[in-house]
Chain A
Amino acid sequence: MTHLPYCLAAWLFAVGMYGIVTSRNMVHLIICLTVVQSSTYALLLAIGFRANAVAPIFADIKPGTPAVDPVVQALMLTDIVVEVTVTALLLGLAVLAHQQTGKLDPRELGVLRG
């Protein structure tokens, strides 16, 4: 087992969050959010990984062959579905906001304050 995938997850989380915090463009910000989410993919896959194991498709392999954990893969798939929904909704909102105000910078939307 190696620590690399965990470091990757932490790195993706950090750069994604950095991107959100410094973002000046709504679309950029939403994509950064998906980068943060990718860190959860990396984390989940890393947790389920086993060295020298095969994909968890049990149709034509000998019983007893080590396979990677299928549960985390199922979690990740669900995760992707969730992410697509949220991202699509967010991008839709951003497009509408741009149509209404002509602005994409989250710092300039500024209707709500105080």
Chain B
Amino acid sequence: MAAVLAALGHRIPRLLANALSIATAAAVGWMAVTLLLARPLVYWFSGWAVVAGKAIGISFAPDAAGAAMVAMASLLTLASLIFSSRYFDTVGTLYHSLMLVFLAAMAGFGLTGDLFNLFVFFELMSAAAFALCGYKSEEAGPLQGALNFAVTNAAGAYLVLSGIGLLYGRTGALNMAEIGRRLAEGRPDALVTGALTMISCGFLVKAAVAPFHFWLADAHAVAPAPVCVLFSGIMVPLGLYAVVRIYWAIFSGALAGHQADLRNLLAVIGVATAVVGAVMCYAQRHFKRLLAFSTISHIGIMLMGAAILTREGLAGTGVYAVSHGLVKGGLFLAAGIVLHRTGTVDELELRRMRHGVSWLAAPVFVGAAGLAEVPPFGTFRGEALMSASTQALGYGWLEWVKFGAAVVTAGAVLRFAAGALLGWGRTPDEEGHEIPERPETQGGHRHTPAVMWVPATALIVLGLLAGMVPGITSEAEKAAAQVKDRAAYAARVLDGATVAAAVATAAPVNAGECARGFGALAAAVLLAFISLRPQRKERRLHRLWRGAMRPLRDLHSGVIPDYVTWLLLGTALFGGAALMWVR
């Protein structure tokens, strides 16, 4: 382990050439896989360990879930670095350093066992992300996107820090296991729910959950495509991971009596996120922005899974997050290829030009199937896991929301592939606003180098294969059980206890679930077909739809003060609801 960590320190940025940065990302991935296969362990920096139940130093306490996140982060970084090696016309080594800092921060974030350390890695991750988002600093769009992203996320980070301060004031500890143990001894009061609110809302800003999601679409629309892969594929799910980790490690003991309340609250947020994301996704014509809203929608689905607060729900969310990240990463790289060849990802413009990237429709179709949760995609396996416990707890209606969100987002992606890439049917005019954008490359490249299409298709195929790995669901259930077991986590970190291997019951995939997956795909195809059908009759329907969408569109104003107002409002509502529990 010490060797692994020495190597972790090795990743502090240097000016690295392509080869070196790719090798580094691969090395980190290899280490993460080692951690994933190893038994959970605890590493205390400089050997400052625990004295009489009090953590003195700072620890890394990786378990399967954290290590899986790091493995995922390094895989996506690897893919996007390979892609970037030919993607940009001009790129400084600063880009590589930023990517590696980003990866290092995500790795630390996934592994750490210390709450303040988590915050520091969170900020490091954010700072690298802001800079990467505004990388094309000679244009107005990326600058505005990066500003929106940075201000809302910084405000969220200060909420997290205040919450950490409150917890430290109460417990005198910063180690997550120790805080959890101390909090569990007392009754939950306003301070506990206040801290829960601040920390959760702060991280949910990063997770782009409604009403904190506004920055995400802006940032994704303008960030370079390979950077979007990391944003959507791993950074946003990491926000959710932090909420899950902190709830289970810290608050689950103190708030054990309020699980049902929390379940309702998170489920409502998840539903709002999935619906807003799906509807806005369908209304876009800028492919990267469309994918960004689809990410928001899918984060809503993941939140609904995690909100159930059961082992299966959590395990399903994990499998879903991995598979969704891979598929979405592949789709963003496909968007990058389109941009590389044509200089635009606008649906209408692409339709009007002869672009020669029609072949890309094939991987994009497959990716859309992944978004629709079709077997054997990992998203399907994850969804099947979640749905079992959702229904057992009487939250069956959540499944319908998830179904709808999956159908609409997949339908929108299919519409883009069929309409813009293949030129089928008719794309409705004036959908969405055009985003003036100079591409990261000059466009008009005649060929797509293999280093670009191979990572794109490989990611989508991996997302497909993720569902077929034997035993993935039972492994995920074991990981989820580890995350959920607060007492065992505390014993592992503070008392050096070894973990008893959790037993998992591998849920068999039933036919109903498969039918549901294929049904979603059929519905998505139907939706895409309807949107592309050249019929006069739908004009009125179309106008009605546009009228209905206007207020929602106006909410996504691109104005920072509005976003921060939503942030405050959302936090106040969350905090008010949480305060009601302990009153």
Contact = CB atoms under 8 A, between A and B. Distances in A.
Contacts of B141: 111-112
Contacts of B157: 82
A43 B170 CA distance: 13
Interface string B135-153: 0011111011111101100
B558 A33 contact: no
B564 interface: yes
A61 interface: no
A19 to B, nearest CB: 10
B130 interface: yes
A36 B147 CA distance: 17
B370 to A, nearest CB: 27
A89 B150 contact: yes
A89 B153 CA distance: 13
Contact of A17 (B146, B165, B564): B564
Contact of A93 (B120, B138, B150, B166): B150
Interface in A73-108: 75, 78-79, 82, 85-86, 89-90, 93-94, 96-97, 100-101, 106-107
B155 A36 contact: yes
Contacts of B143: 93, 96-97, 100
A114 B433 CA distance: 7
A107 B553 contact: no
Given A29-B151, A86-B150, A112 B168 contact: no
A82 B121 CA distance: 10
Interface residues of A, number: 42
A113 B283 CA distance: 12
Interface in A25-55: 26, 29-30, 33, 36-37, 39-40, 43-44, 47
A40 B161 contact: yes
A44 B559 contact: no
A43 B165 contact: yes
A110 interface: yes
Contact of B558 (A72, A100, A113): A113
Interface in A1-24: 9, 13, 17, 20-23
Contacts of A72: 165, 168
Given A17-B564, A23-B561, A111 B147 contact: no
Given A21-B565, A107-B561, A97 B158 contact: no
B561 A29 contact: yes
B432 A20 contact: no
Contact of B218 (A37, A44, A112): A112
B372 interface: no
Nearest to A43: B165
Given A100-B138, A100-B143, A112-B558, A20 B564 contact: yes
Contact of B155 (A20, A43, A93): A20
A47 B191 CA distance: 13
A40 B560 contact: no
Contacts of B140: 97, 100-101, 109, 111
A22 B561 contact: yes
B553 A33 contact: no
Contacts of A114: 283, 432-433, 553-554, 556
A26 B218 CA distance: 17
Contact of B560 (A29, A36, A39): A29
B556 A20 contact: no
A6 B519 CA distance: 55
B33 interface: no
Contacts of A107: 559, 561
Nearest to A74: B116
Given A72-B168, A90-B130, A96-B137, 7 more contacts: A23-B561, A37-B158, A86-B123, A90-B154, A107-B559, A113-B556, A114-B432
20 contacts: A17-B155, A20-B155, A21-B565, A33-B155, A37-B158, A39-B158, A47-B166, A75-B116, A78-B116, A78-B120, A79-B161, A93-B137, A96-B134, A100-B138, A100-B143, A106-B147, A109-B147, A112-B148, A113-B557, A114-B432
Interface of A: 9, 13, 17, 20-23, 26, 29-30, 33, 36-37, 39-40, 43-44, 47, 71-72, 75, 78-79, 82, 85-86, 89-90, 93-94, 96-97, 100-101, 106-107, 109-114
Query: What are the 3 tightest A-B residue pairs by CB atom distance, in nearest-first order?
Result: A114-B553, A47-B169, A112-B558
